[in-house]
Amino acid sequence: MRRWLLRALTLVSAFALAACGAKGGVATVEGGTLHLSINQTAEHPMTVALKTMADNFSERTDGRWTLVIHPNEVLGAQREVIQLLQDDIVELAIVNGSQLENLNHDFRVFNLPFVFDDIDHQMAVVNNPEITKDLYSSLTGSNIEVIAAYTGGERSLYTKRGPINQPADLSGMKIRVQETDTNLRMIRQMSGSPTPMSYGEVYTALQAGVINGAENNEVSYVQQKHYEVAKQWSYTRHLIIPDYLIASHAMMQRFTPEDKAIFDELLAQSVTDEIKLWNDTTNEALETMKSAGVTITEPDADAFRKAIEPMINDSLTTDAQRELFEKTRALAGGK
Ligand code: GCU
């Protein structure tokens, strides 16, 4: 299925390029089909918000543009899709901050534990161009542009055995993490054994006992059905990592100014929509967890914070990172 889809997309993208016209030295396109990859279900808040955006974009451009959303990792895991986007085969993709950290370490600042106090703080920072402008355009040389940031909620731990009350309870447990040094170190600080793997592999790994637990938000835990195979949820709330909508930089240049203005307006709306959907979907997920018999506990938050905190300063290795961190913290508490 994936191979077939990718072959079709490669052909379409060659056609789209051939259809370009030149205006004032920049090759613009009047319309076409854009492909967006996301590793979440069709019901996930980001997928839903982006689907609304896709429908409105088509309507507002009189059907000249179509935005096709490919959910459920059908085009590949985030890491693979970044490559497709760099090659201009896929024009848009949702990727976690962790993936961008591997391409530019400055993204790490927004991926650190406790950097954001809550989702409101996160959103005030990650969509503030005064703070993010340079960071989000830092990968254009690799054809990647960050065009929006969405909340992926607060991440907590879930395990097959439990409860997890304090870091020592994770000793000897293999905990799946996203593939970055920051995530690996974070679990080590919590006394666990980090096991990096892609999102789509987690269910089977939990089921087979290859890992003893993982960490994520309530929505992913429920929509990916991880609660079926790991029934202990411990509210550590250690991370609030953003998800980014990344775009092919080349494609973003091909819009006419009029279409780009419509696209940007709908994009901003999708961020607002997603936050609302996020809160509703999280509440629904919590209800599902309770009715499915998940054991939900509030561990010793201070003990986890104390274990993790030493890595924060060490992780800020450049002036740019320290400056980003300070600007982020300056907006904490609604300041
Ligand atoms: C969340 C996040 C995804 C990420 C996933 C993961 O669901 O929104 O972008 O891929 O966690 O843990 O891999």
The per-residue DSSP string of 40-78 comes to: S-TTSHHHHHHHHHHHHHHHHTTTSEEEEEE-TTTT--H
pTM listed for this prediction: 0.95
- The answer to whether residue 334 scores a pLDDT higher than 70 is no
Q: Is the peptide bond before 163 cis (omega within 30 degrees of 0)?
A: yes
CA dihedral of residues 219, 224, 227, 228 (deg, nearest 10) = 150
Say what percent of the chain tops pLDDT 70. Answer: 92
Distance 96 CA to ligand 1 centre (A): 6
CA dihedral of residues 72, 78, 79, 85 (deg, nearest 10) = 100
Tokens of 132: 């993010």
- The answer to whether residue 11 scores a pLDDT higher than 80 is no
pLDDT of residue 15: 44
- The answer to whether residue 221 scores a pLDDT higher than 50 is yes
C-alpha dihedral sign at 182, 245, 251, 255: negative
Say what percent of the chain tops pLDDT 90. Answer: 91
Q: Which atom of ligand 1 is nearest to the CA of 78?
A: 10
User: From the CB of 199, is ligand 1 less than 6 Å away?
Assistant: yes
pLDDT of residue 12: 60
- The answer to whether residue 2 scores a pLDDT higher than 80 is no
pLDDT of residue 112: 98
pLDDT of residue 14: 44
Helices 119-126 and 129-136 sit at what angle, rounded to 10 degrees? 60
* Mean pLDDT within 167-186: 97
Residue ID of nearest Cα to ligand 1 atom 9: 96
* Mean pLDDT within 233-250: 97
Confidence at 26, pLDDT banded by 50, 70, 90? low
Phi-psi region of 180 (alpha: psi -120 to 50; beta: other; left: phi over 0): beta
* Mean pLDDT within 226-252: 97
With the most atoms of ligand 1 within 8 angstroms of its CB, the residue from 216, 218, 281 to mutate is 216
Name, in order, each residue with C-beta under 8 angstroms of 288's C-beta and a sequence gap of 6 or more. 222, 227
CB 21 within 8 A of CB 54: no
CA dihedral of residues 312, 315, 318, 324 (deg, nearest 10) = -50
- The answer to whether residue 4 scores a pLDDT higher than 80 is no
End-to-end CA distance of the chain: 49
pLDDT of residue 84: 97
Tens-place pLDDT, residues 114-161: 999 999 999 999 999 999 999 999 999 999 999 999 999 999 999 999
